[in-house]
């Protein structure tokens, strides 16, 4: 994989800015119902699918961290390597490419107790926060999905349906994300979802 592939599509920074602005707006409308704070790691535990666009962003973020703080970057890589050692035996997909088979029934229970390797266990903070996947960026505020509207179980506890809907995250950026992800897949030659640990372990 060359440096350009590691950096990902040029439009990703625009996408990040759009999503971060949408999140800030949702957080403002959510008010005190949104409990997300530094050190809260509920959403950092458990394996989840990320796109190849997310993967490119994470690789770029790790390169930036290596320039700024080589020791921290080495710790991230080591946590990722250890995570992959634990996860490899039951990996629901292609362990060579990292591609997940999200239709595999095993994926639903896979790695539910596995901490994200980007999470610093001492500080409870994300070492790659600025390069985090989209799932991480939008977690917390109410968000629509095929199953209805969902929220973090730590947020909006006791809120009415009206209060929940008032803080809904707007997701009119998903078309741009899909387009950029297709570009990232073309750059890398890898299609489909993967996981954070596979990317950060240097695969």
Per-residue pLDDT of the chain (203 residues; tens, 9 = 90+): 433 445 578 899 999 999 999 999 999 999 999 888 887 888 899 999 999 999 999 999 999 999 999 999 999 999 999 999 999 999 999 999 999 998 898 888 899 999 999 999 999 999 999 999 999 999 888 888 777 788 788 888 889 989 999 999 999 999 999 999 999 999 989 899 999 999 999 86
Cβ–Cβ < 8 Å for 195, 100 = yes
Cβ–Cβ < 8 Å for 8, 126 = no
Could you give the C-alpha distances from 186 to 1, 9, 40, 179, 192, in angstroms and in order? 12, 10, 36, 11, 11
User: Structure pTM?
Assistant: 0.90
Cβ–Cβ < 8 Å for 118, 132 = yes
Q: Which residue from 11, 2, 48 is spatially nearest to 187, judged by alpha carbons?
A: 2
């Amino acid at each position: 994989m060359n440096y350009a592939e590691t950096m990902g599509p040029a439009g990703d920074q625009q996408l990040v800015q759009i999503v971060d602005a949408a999140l800030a707006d949702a957080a403002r409308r959510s008010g005190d119902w949104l409990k997300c704070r530094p050190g809260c790691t509920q959403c950092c535990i458990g394996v989840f699918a990320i796109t190849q666009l997310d993967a490119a962003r994470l690789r770029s973020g790790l390169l930036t961290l290596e320039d700024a703080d080589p020791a921290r970057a080495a710790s991230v890589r080591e946590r990722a390597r250890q995570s992959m050692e634990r996860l490899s035996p039951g990996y629901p997909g292609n362990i060579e490419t990292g591609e997940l088979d999200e239709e595999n029934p095993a994926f639903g229970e896979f790695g539910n107790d596995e901490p994200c390797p980007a999470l610093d266990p001492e500080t409870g903070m994300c070492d790659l926060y600025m390069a985090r996947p989209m799932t991480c960026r939008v977690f917390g505020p109410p968000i629509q999905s095929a199953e209805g509207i969902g929220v973090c179980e730590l947020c909006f506890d006791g809120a009415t349906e009206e209060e929940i809907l008032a803080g809904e995250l707007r997701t009119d950026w998903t078309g741009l994300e899909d387009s950029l992800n297709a570009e990232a897949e073309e750059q890398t030659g890898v299609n489909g979802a993967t996981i954070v640990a596979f990317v950060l372990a240097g695969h």
